[in-house]
Structure 1
Amino acid sequence: MKALHSIAAALAFATASFSSTAQESLPMTRSLIPASHHAVSHRVVQVDGTPAILTRHERRDGRNAGLEGEHFSTVAMADGVLKGFAHISLDLAGKPLPSRERTEAIARAFLQTHASDLLPCMEIHWIEPHDEPIRVQRESRTETVTLTGMKMKARNLADGRWFWVIVGSDEKPMVFERDIVWITFPGHRKTEKWLHDGWLRAQERRAA
Protein backbone atom coordinates (compact mmCIF):
# COMPACT_ATOMS: atom_id res chain seq x y z
CA MET A 1 0.00 0.00 0.00
CA LYS A 2 2.81 2.40 0.87
CA ALA A 3 4.54 1.69 -2.46
CA LEU A 4 1.31 2.30 -4.35
CA HIS A 5 0.84 5.55 -2.49
CA SER A 6 4.35 6.69 -3.45
CA ILE A 7 3.74 5.90 -7.11
CA ALA A 8 0.37 7.67 -7.03
CA ALA A 9 1.99 10.71 -5.42
CA ALA A 10 4.71 10.72 -8.07
CA LEU A 11 2.15 10.49 -10.86
CA ALA A 12 0.20 13.35 -9.33
CA PHE A 13 3.40 15.36 -9.15
CA ALA A 14 4.15 14.59 -12.78
CA THR A 15 0.77 15.67 -14.11
CA ALA A 16 0.35 18.67 -11.82
CA SER A 17 3.86 20.06 -12.01
CA PHE A 18 4.83 19.25 -15.58
CA SER A 19 1.66 19.22 -17.64
CA SER A 20 1.45 22.87 -18.67
CA THR A 21 4.61 24.46 -17.36
CA ALA A 22 7.07 21.59 -17.88
CA GLN A 23 9.75 22.82 -15.47
CA GLU A 24 8.19 25.83 -13.72
CA SER A 25 8.37 24.08 -10.34
CA LEU A 26 12.11 23.48 -10.76
CA PRO A 27 13.80 26.88 -11.12
CA MET A 28 17.25 25.26 -11.02
CA THR A 29 16.65 23.27 -14.18
CA ARG A 30 14.63 25.99 -15.89
CA SER A 31 17.72 28.20 -15.99
CA LEU A 32 19.66 25.46 -17.79
CA ILE A 33 17.20 24.64 -20.59
CA PRO A 34 18.16 26.25 -23.93
CA ALA A 35 15.59 28.67 -25.38
CA SER A 36 15.83 26.66 -28.63
CA HIS A 37 14.18 23.65 -26.94
CA HIS A 38 10.70 22.75 -25.71
CA ALA A 39 9.40 19.90 -23.59
CA VAL A 40 8.22 16.89 -25.60
CA SER A 41 7.69 14.30 -22.86
CA HIS A 42 7.75 13.67 -19.15
CA ARG A 43 7.17 10.50 -17.20
CA VAL A 44 7.65 8.85 -13.84
CA VAL A 45 10.73 6.62 -13.62
CA GLN A 46 12.52 4.75 -10.86
CA VAL A 47 15.96 5.87 -9.70
CA ASP A 48 17.43 3.33 -7.29
CA GLY A 49 13.93 2.44 -6.15
CA THR A 50 12.65 6.01 -5.73
CA PRO A 51 10.15 7.68 -8.11
CA ALA A 52 11.54 10.56 -10.15
CA ILE A 53 10.51 12.60 -13.19
CA LEU A 54 12.27 12.24 -16.53
CA THR A 55 11.63 15.21 -18.80
CA ARG A 56 12.86 15.44 -22.38
CA HIS A 57 13.25 18.63 -24.40
CA GLU A 58 14.02 18.70 -28.11
CA ARG A 59 14.75 21.49 -30.55
CA ARG A 60 11.77 23.57 -31.61
CA ASP A 61 12.92 23.40 -35.25
CA GLY A 62 12.83 19.59 -35.14
CA ARG A 63 16.49 19.13 -36.02
CA ASN A 64 17.68 15.60 -35.22
CA ALA A 65 14.59 14.90 -33.15
CA GLY A 66 13.84 11.57 -31.52
CA LEU A 67 15.71 9.03 -29.46
CA GLU A 68 19.49 9.17 -29.93
CA GLY A 69 19.22 12.63 -31.50
CA GLU A 70 19.62 16.11 -30.02
CA HIS A 71 17.94 16.66 -26.68
CA PHE A 72 18.08 18.29 -23.27
CA SER A 73 16.82 15.83 -20.65
CA THR A 74 16.51 16.11 -16.88
CA VAL A 75 15.87 13.72 -14.02
CA ALA A 76 14.45 15.34 -10.89
CA MET A 77 13.00 14.05 -7.66
CA ALA A 78 9.50 15.01 -6.53
CA ASP A 79 10.99 17.44 -4.00
CA GLY A 80 12.82 19.28 -6.79
CA VAL A 81 16.31 17.85 -6.28
CA LEU A 82 18.08 17.69 -9.63
CA LYS A 83 19.51 14.20 -10.12
CA GLY A 84 21.02 15.04 -13.46
CA PHE A 85 20.70 16.47 -16.94
CA ALA A 86 22.14 15.90 -20.40
CA HIS A 87 22.47 18.48 -23.16
CA ILE A 88 23.31 16.54 -26.31
CA SER A 89 23.78 19.06 -29.10
CA LEU A 90 25.41 18.88 -32.52
CA ASP A 91 26.54 22.48 -32.01
CA LEU A 92 29.08 21.25 -29.43
CA ALA A 93 30.76 18.67 -31.67
CA GLY A 94 34.21 18.97 -33.22
CA LYS A 95 35.39 22.04 -31.28
CA PRO A 96 38.31 22.61 -28.89
CA LEU A 97 37.72 21.57 -25.28
CA PRO A 98 38.60 23.47 -22.10
CA SER A 99 41.70 22.51 -20.13
CA ARG A 100 41.49 20.29 -17.07
CA GLU A 101 41.97 23.33 -14.84
CA ARG A 102 39.24 25.27 -16.61
CA THR A 103 36.95 22.21 -16.53
CA GLU A 104 37.34 21.87 -12.77
CA ALA A 105 36.62 25.57 -12.23
CA ILE A 106 33.44 25.40 -14.35
CA ALA A 107 32.32 22.17 -12.66
CA ARG A 108 32.85 23.60 -9.18
CA ALA A 109 30.89 26.74 -10.04
CA PHE A 110 28.03 24.62 -11.39
CA LEU A 111 27.97 22.42 -8.29
CA GLN A 112 28.03 25.45 -6.01
CA THR A 113 24.79 26.67 -7.63
CA HIS A 114 22.98 23.40 -8.34
CA ALA A 115 24.35 20.78 -5.93
CA SER A 116 26.34 22.53 -3.21
CA ASP A 117 25.84 19.62 -0.80
CA LEU A 118 28.30 17.57 -2.88
CA LEU A 119 31.24 19.95 -2.48
CA PRO A 120 32.31 19.44 1.18
CA CYS A 121 33.06 15.73 0.74
CA MET A 122 34.08 15.75 -2.92
CA GLU A 123 37.05 13.65 -4.01
CA ILE A 124 38.00 14.20 -7.65
CA HIS A 125 39.19 10.99 -9.31
CA TRP A 126 40.05 12.30 -12.75
CA ILE A 127 39.34 14.89 -15.42
CA GLU A 128 39.50 13.46 -18.92
CA PRO A 129 37.78 13.72 -22.34
CA HIS A 130 34.52 11.78 -22.57
CA ASP A 131 32.58 10.81 -25.71
CA GLU A 132 28.82 10.70 -26.23
CA PRO A 133 27.23 9.52 -29.53
CA ILE A 134 24.58 11.54 -31.32
CA ARG A 135 22.48 10.53 -34.33
CA VAL A 136 22.15 13.20 -37.02
CA GLN A 137 20.44 13.54 -40.39
CA ARG A 138 22.65 14.68 -43.24
CA GLU A 139 21.59 14.73 -46.88
CA SER A 140 18.74 12.26 -46.33
CA ARG A 141 20.92 9.79 -44.48
CA THR A 142 21.54 9.05 -40.83
CA GLU A 143 24.99 9.00 -39.30
CA THR A 144 26.49 8.95 -35.83
CA VAL A 145 28.65 11.83 -34.66
CA THR A 146 30.87 11.75 -31.58
CA LEU A 147 30.26 14.56 -29.12
CA THR A 148 33.22 15.05 -26.78
CA GLY A 149 33.36 16.93 -23.50
CA MET A 150 35.73 17.15 -20.52
CA LYS A 151 34.47 14.98 -17.66
CA MET A 152 35.25 15.64 -14.01
CA LYS A 153 34.44 12.40 -12.18
CA ALA A 154 34.21 12.58 -8.40
CA ARG A 155 33.08 10.61 -5.39
CA ASN A 156 31.00 11.83 -2.48
CA LEU A 157 32.95 10.53 0.51
CA ALA A 158 29.91 11.08 2.74
CA ASP A 159 27.99 8.21 1.15
CA GLY A 160 30.38 6.58 -1.32
CA ARG A 161 28.27 7.48 -4.34
CA TRP A 162 29.63 8.97 -7.56
CA PHE A 163 28.88 12.13 -9.47
CA TRP A 164 30.30 13.98 -12.43
CA VAL A 165 30.08 17.09 -14.54
CA ILE A 166 30.95 17.00 -18.24
CA VAL A 167 31.88 20.39 -19.67
CA GLY A 168 31.29 21.03 -23.37
CA SER A 169 33.26 22.97 -25.95
CA ASP A 170 31.20 26.07 -25.11
CA GLU A 171 32.60 25.92 -21.55
CA LYS A 172 29.20 25.10 -20.10
CA PRO A 173 28.13 21.89 -18.34
CA MET A 174 26.58 19.51 -20.89
CA VAL A 175 26.03 16.52 -18.55
CA PHE A 176 25.56 16.26 -14.80
CA GLU A 177 24.74 13.12 -12.84
CA ARG A 178 24.77 12.56 -9.09
CA ASP A 179 24.19 9.85 -6.49
CA ILE A 180 25.34 7.08 -8.83
CA VAL A 181 25.55 3.70 -7.14
CA TRP A 182 28.46 1.62 -8.40
CA ILE A 183 28.81 -2.06 -7.58
CA THR A 184 32.52 -2.79 -7.26
CA PHE A 185 32.18 -6.51 -7.91
CA PRO A 186 31.55 -7.48 -10.66
CA GLY A 187 32.06 -3.81 -11.51
CA HIS A 188 29.03 -2.10 -13.02
CA ARG A 189 26.68 0.80 -12.52
CA LYS A 190 23.51 -0.04 -10.60
CA THR A 191 21.74 3.31 -10.97
CA GLU A 192 19.52 3.53 -14.06
CA LYS A 193 20.76 5.53 -17.07
CA TRP A 194 17.63 7.54 -17.87
CA LEU A 195 19.66 10.37 -19.44
CA HIS A 196 21.39 8.06 -21.92
CA ASP A 197 19.50 7.39 -25.15
CA GLY A 198 21.49 4.25 -25.92
CA TRP A 199 20.35 2.76 -22.62
CA LEU A 200 16.75 3.84 -23.28
CA ARG A 201 16.87 2.19 -26.69
CA ALA A 202 18.15 -1.02 -25.09
CA GLN A 203 15.24 -0.97 -22.62
CA GLU A 204 12.80 -0.61 -25.51
CA ARG A 205 14.32 -3.65 -27.25
CA ARG A 206 14.06 -5.74 -24.10
CA ALA A 207 10.43 -4.77 -23.63
CA ALA A 208 9.52 -5.58 -27.26
Structure 2
Amino acid sequence: MKKRNALAGRTAAVSLVLAAGVAAYAQTSKERKMPASAAQIAKTSPPFNSLTPEGYKQVSTRDVTVDGERATLTRFERQDGRNAGLGGEHYSRVVNEAGLLKGFANMDLAYESDNLPSRERTREIAMGFLKEFAPDLLPRMEISWIEPHDEPVRVTRDGRPQVITVTGMKVKMRNTGDGRWFWVIVGANERVMVFERDIVWINMPGHRQTEKWLHDTWLAARDSKNPAH
Protein backbone atom coordinates (compact mmCIF):
# COMPACT_ATOMS: atom_id res chain seq x y z
CA MET A 1 0.00 0.00 0.00
CA LYS A 2 1.39 3.41 -0.91
CA LYS A 3 1.40 6.28 1.58
CA ARG A 4 -1.21 8.84 0.84
CA ASN A 5 0.20 12.06 -0.63
CA ALA A 6 -2.10 14.19 1.51
CA LEU A 7 0.03 13.57 4.60
CA ALA A 8 3.16 14.90 2.90
CA GLY A 9 1.38 18.17 2.27
CA ARG A 10 0.60 18.46 5.98
CA THR A 11 4.15 17.75 7.21
CA ALA A 12 5.32 21.38 7.43
CA ALA A 13 2.10 22.50 9.11
CA VAL A 14 2.26 19.65 11.64
CA SER A 15 5.85 20.52 12.53
CA LEU A 16 5.00 24.19 13.09
CA VAL A 17 1.97 23.39 15.25
CA LEU A 18 3.92 20.95 17.39
CA ALA A 19 6.80 23.37 17.84
CA ALA A 20 4.43 26.09 19.01
CA GLY A 21 2.57 23.78 21.36
CA VAL A 22 5.46 22.12 23.20
CA ALA A 23 6.31 25.24 25.21
CA ALA A 24 2.67 25.75 26.17
CA TYR A 25 1.89 22.17 27.22
CA ALA A 26 0.17 22.54 30.61
CA GLN A 27 -2.25 20.87 33.03
CA THR A 28 -5.92 21.78 33.23
CA SER A 29 -9.00 20.69 35.16
CA LYS A 30 -12.75 21.14 35.00
CA GLU A 31 -15.68 19.52 36.78
CA ARG A 32 -18.69 17.38 36.04
CA LYS A 33 -20.50 14.63 37.91
CA MET A 34 -20.13 11.17 36.31
CA PRO A 35 -23.15 8.95 35.54
CA ALA A 36 -23.56 5.80 37.61
CA SER A 37 -23.70 3.65 34.47
CA ALA A 38 -20.14 4.59 33.61
CA ALA A 39 -18.99 3.55 37.07
CA GLN A 40 -20.69 0.19 36.68
CA ILE A 41 -19.06 -0.40 33.30
CA ALA A 42 -15.66 0.47 34.74
CA LYS A 43 -16.10 -1.98 37.61
CA THR A 44 -16.87 -4.87 35.27
CA SER A 45 -14.10 -4.09 32.74
CA PRO A 46 -10.68 -5.75 33.00
CA PRO A 47 -7.63 -3.72 34.10
CA PHE A 48 -6.31 -1.64 31.21
CA ASN A 49 -2.75 -1.26 32.54
CA SER A 50 -1.91 -4.31 30.43
CA LEU A 51 -2.35 -2.10 27.35
CA THR A 52 0.71 0.00 28.25
CA PRO A 53 3.50 -1.06 25.86
CA GLU A 54 6.73 -2.47 27.23
CA GLY A 55 9.64 -0.08 27.40
CA TYR A 56 7.49 2.96 28.20
CA LYS A 57 7.42 5.06 31.37
CA GLN A 58 4.86 7.56 32.66
CA VAL A 59 5.96 11.15 32.10
CA SER A 60 2.89 13.26 32.86
CA THR A 61 -0.75 13.42 33.91
CA ARG A 62 -3.27 16.20 33.54
CA ASP A 63 -6.89 16.75 34.50
CA VAL A 64 -9.11 17.17 31.44
CA THR A 65 -12.75 17.15 30.47
CA VAL A 66 -14.35 14.99 27.79
CA ASP A 67 -17.70 16.39 26.69
CA GLY A 68 -18.01 17.95 30.12
CA GLU A 69 -17.00 14.84 32.05
CA ARG A 70 -13.98 14.88 34.33
CA ALA A 71 -11.14 12.63 33.20
CA THR A 72 -7.39 12.15 33.42
CA LEU A 73 -4.95 12.16 30.51
CA THR A 74 -1.82 10.11 31.25
CA ARG A 75 1.17 10.16 28.92
CA PHE A 76 3.94 7.59 28.61
CA GLU A 77 7.11 7.90 26.55
CA ARG A 78 9.92 5.52 25.70
CA GLN A 79 12.34 4.71 28.52
CA ASP A 80 15.28 5.08 26.13
CA GLY A 81 14.21 8.65 25.35
CA ARG A 82 13.83 8.05 21.62
CA ASN A 83 11.72 10.72 19.93
CA ALA A 84 10.48 12.10 23.24
CA GLY A 85 8.22 15.11 23.61
CA LEU A 86 4.95 16.32 22.15
CA GLY A 87 4.48 14.91 18.66
CA GLY A 88 6.97 12.09 19.17
CA GLU A 89 6.54 8.45 20.08
CA HIS A 90 4.17 8.02 23.01
CA TYR A 91 1.37 6.04 24.57
CA SER A 92 -1.44 8.17 25.99
CA ARG A 93 -4.72 7.20 27.57
CA VAL A 94 -7.82 8.96 28.86
CA VAL A 95 -9.76 7.53 31.80
CA ASN A 96 -12.86 9.19 33.23
CA GLU A 97 -13.51 9.81 36.91
CA ALA A 98 -15.45 6.57 37.21
CA GLY A 99 -12.48 4.57 35.93
CA LEU A 100 -13.82 3.95 32.42
CA LEU A 101 -11.23 3.79 29.64
CA LYS A 102 -12.31 6.43 27.14
CA GLY A 103 -9.44 5.80 24.76
CA PHE A 104 -5.75 5.40 24.15
CA ALA A 105 -3.22 5.98 21.38
CA ASN A 106 0.11 4.22 20.86
CA MET A 107 2.23 6.19 18.42
CA ASP A 108 5.32 4.01 17.97
CA LEU A 109 7.64 3.37 15.02
CA ALA A 110 6.54 -0.26 15.16
CA TYR A 111 3.42 0.89 13.29
CA GLU A 112 5.35 2.43 10.39
CA SER A 113 4.40 -0.23 7.88
CA ASP A 114 2.23 -0.85 4.84
CA ASN A 115 1.83 -4.55 5.63
CA LEU A 116 -1.59 -4.17 7.21
CA PRO A 117 -4.04 -6.92 8.18
CA SER A 118 -6.98 -7.66 5.92
CA ARG A 119 -10.34 -6.09 6.61
CA GLU A 120 -11.70 -9.40 7.89
CA ARG A 121 -8.71 -9.95 10.19
CA THR A 122 -8.94 -6.34 11.37
CA ARG A 123 -12.60 -6.79 12.23
CA GLU A 124 -11.81 -9.99 14.14
CA ILE A 125 -9.12 -8.28 16.22
CA ALA A 126 -11.31 -5.24 16.87
CA MET A 127 -14.22 -7.35 18.06
CA GLY A 128 -11.94 -9.29 20.38
CA PHE A 129 -10.61 -6.07 21.84
CA LEU A 130 -14.08 -4.62 22.41
CA LYS A 131 -15.28 -7.84 24.00
CA GLU A 132 -12.48 -7.57 26.54
CA PHE A 133 -12.23 -3.83 27.18
CA ALA A 134 -15.56 -2.30 26.12
CA PRO A 135 -18.22 -5.03 26.01
CA ASP A 136 -21.03 -2.54 26.61
CA LEU A 137 -20.51 -1.20 23.08
CA LEU A 138 -21.14 -4.50 21.31
CA PRO A 139 -24.95 -4.93 21.63
CA ARG A 140 -25.74 -1.74 19.72
CA MET A 141 -22.75 -1.66 17.38
CA GLU A 142 -22.95 -0.73 13.72
CA ILE A 143 -19.80 -0.81 11.57
CA SER A 144 -19.52 2.15 9.23
CA TRP A 145 -16.32 1.19 7.41
CA ILE A 146 -12.91 -0.48 7.69
CA GLU A 147 -10.12 1.45 5.97
CA PRO A 148 -6.42 2.39 6.36
CA HIS A 149 -5.73 5.33 8.65
CA ASP A 150 -2.56 7.46 8.94
CA GLU A 151 -1.18 9.41 11.89
CA PRO A 152 1.90 11.72 11.88
CA VAL A 153 4.78 11.19 14.31
CA ARG A 154 7.79 13.46 14.77
CA VAL A 155 11.11 11.60 14.75
CA THR A 156 14.81 12.30 14.46
CA ARG A 157 16.73 10.32 11.87
CA ASP A 158 20.37 10.81 10.94
CA GLY A 159 20.34 13.80 13.24
CA ARG A 160 17.55 15.50 11.35
CA PRO A 161 13.92 16.00 12.49
CA GLN A 162 11.16 14.80 10.22
CA VAL A 163 7.52 13.75 10.34
CA ILE A 164 6.77 10.14 9.38
CA THR A 165 3.54 8.18 9.07
CA VAL A 166 2.30 5.34 11.23
CA THR A 167 -0.56 3.42 9.68
CA GLY A 168 -3.29 1.07 10.85
CA MET A 169 -6.61 -0.35 9.74
CA LYS A 170 -9.46 1.62 11.30
CA VAL A 171 -12.80 0.04 12.18
CA LYS A 172 -15.18 2.97 12.56
CA MET A 173 -18.39 2.11 14.41
CA ARG A 174 -21.52 3.84 15.64
CA ASN A 175 -23.45 3.22 18.82
CA THR A 176 -27.02 2.99 17.57
CA GLY A 177 -28.28 3.56 21.11
CA ASP A 178 -26.89 7.05 21.64
CA GLY A 179 -25.58 7.97 18.19
CA ARG A 180 -21.99 8.35 19.38
CA TRP A 181 -19.00 7.01 17.47
CA PHE A 182 -16.17 4.74 18.46
CA TRP A 183 -13.31 3.04 16.66
CA VAL A 184 -10.45 0.61 16.93
CA ILE A 185 -7.29 0.97 14.82
CA VAL A 186 -5.20 -2.18 14.29
CA GLY A 187 -1.55 -1.94 13.29
CA ALA A 188 0.66 -4.06 11.07
CA ASN A 189 1.67 -6.21 14.04
CA GLU A 190 -2.02 -7.02 14.60
CA ARG A 191 -2.05 -5.03 17.82
CA VAL A 192 -4.54 -2.29 18.62
CA MET A 193 -2.75 1.06 18.33
CA VAL A 194 -5.75 3.37 18.89
CA PHE A 195 -9.10 3.09 20.64
CA GLU A 196 -11.59 5.90 21.15
CA ARG A 197 -15.19 5.74 22.34
CA ASP A 198 -18.22 7.98 22.92
CA ILE A 199 -17.23 10.49 20.25
CA VAL A 200 -19.87 13.15 19.67
CA TRP A 201 -20.17 14.37 16.08
CA ILE A 202 -22.14 17.49 15.20
CA ASN A 203 -23.65 17.01 11.74
CA MET A 204 -24.31 20.69 11.21
CA PRO A 205 -21.90 22.33 10.46
CA GLY A 206 -20.08 18.98 10.45
CA HIS A 207 -17.30 18.63 13.00
CA ARG A 208 -16.25 16.63 16.03
CA GLN A 209 -17.40 18.03 19.37
CA THR A 210 -15.46 15.65 21.63
CA GLU A 211 -12.02 16.91 22.60
CA LYS A 212 -8.99 15.27 20.96
CA TRP A 213 -6.81 14.71 24.02
CA LEU A 214 -5.07 11.73 22.38
CA HIS A 215 -3.97 13.77 19.37
CA ASP A 216 -0.69 15.65 19.83
CA THR A 217 -1.32 18.09 16.99
CA TRP A 218 -4.62 19.11 18.62
CA LEU A 219 -2.94 19.41 22.02
CA ALA A 220 -0.17 21.57 20.58
CA ALA A 221 -2.59 23.89 18.81
CA ARG A 222 -4.84 24.15 21.87
CA ASP A 223 -2.07 24.84 24.34
CA SER A 224 -0.31 27.33 22.11
CA LYS A 225 -3.54 29.37 22.00
CA ASN A 226 -4.22 28.93 25.73
CA PRO A 227 -0.81 28.89 27.46
CA ALA A 228 -2.34 29.78 30.82
CA HIS A 229 -4.49 26.63 30.76
TM-score (norm 2): 0.79
Matched, 1:124 2:143: yes
* C-alpha displacement of 1:116: 0.2
Matched, 1:29 2:48: yes
Matched, 1:67 2:67: no
Higher relative contact order (CA 8 A, sep 6+): 2
Matched, 1:205 2:224: yes
Identical residues among aligned pairs (%): 59
> Which residue in the other structure is 1:178 paired with?
197
Deviation digits for residues 14-64 of structure 1, max 9, x if unmatched? xxxxxxxxxxxx962211001210100011101001110000000000000
**SS of equivalent to 2:48:** helix
What amino acid sits opposite 1:63 in the alignment? R
What amino acid sits opposite 2:146 in the alignment? I
Matched, 1:77 2:96: yes
Q: Is there any run of 5+ residues in structure 2 with no aligned partner, and where?
A: 1-29, 35-44
1:146 to 145, 165, 176: 165
| Cα separation, 2, equivalents of 1:8 and 1:50 | 5
Alignment size in residue pairs = 188
| Cα separation, 2, equivalents of 1:8 and 1:114 | 24
What amino acid sits opposite 2:161 in the alignment? T
1:106 to 125, 146, 160: 125
**SS of equivalent to 2:95:** strand
2:175 to 131, 156, 162: 156
What amino acid sits opposite 1:114 in the alignment? F
Matched, 1:168 2:187: yes
**SS of equivalent to 1:105:** helix
Q: CA RMSD in A?
A: 1.7
* C-alpha displacement of 1:85: 0.2
| Cα separation, 1, equivalents of 2:111 and 2:210 | 27
**SS of equivalent to 2:47:** helix
What amino acid sits opposite 2:182 in the alignment? F
* C-alpha displacement of 1:141: 1.1
Matched, 1:134 2:153: yes
TM-score (norm 1): 0.87
> Which residue in the other structure is 1:22 paired with?
none
Q: Is there any run of 5+ residues in structure 1 with no aligned partner, and where?
A: 1-5, 11-25
CA gap of 1:8–1:103, structure 2 versus 1, over 3 A, is closer
* C-alpha displacement of 1:8: 10
What amino acid sits opposite 2:126 in the alignment? A
Q: Which stretches of structure 1, 4 residues or longer, exceed 3 Å deviation after superposition?
A: 6-10
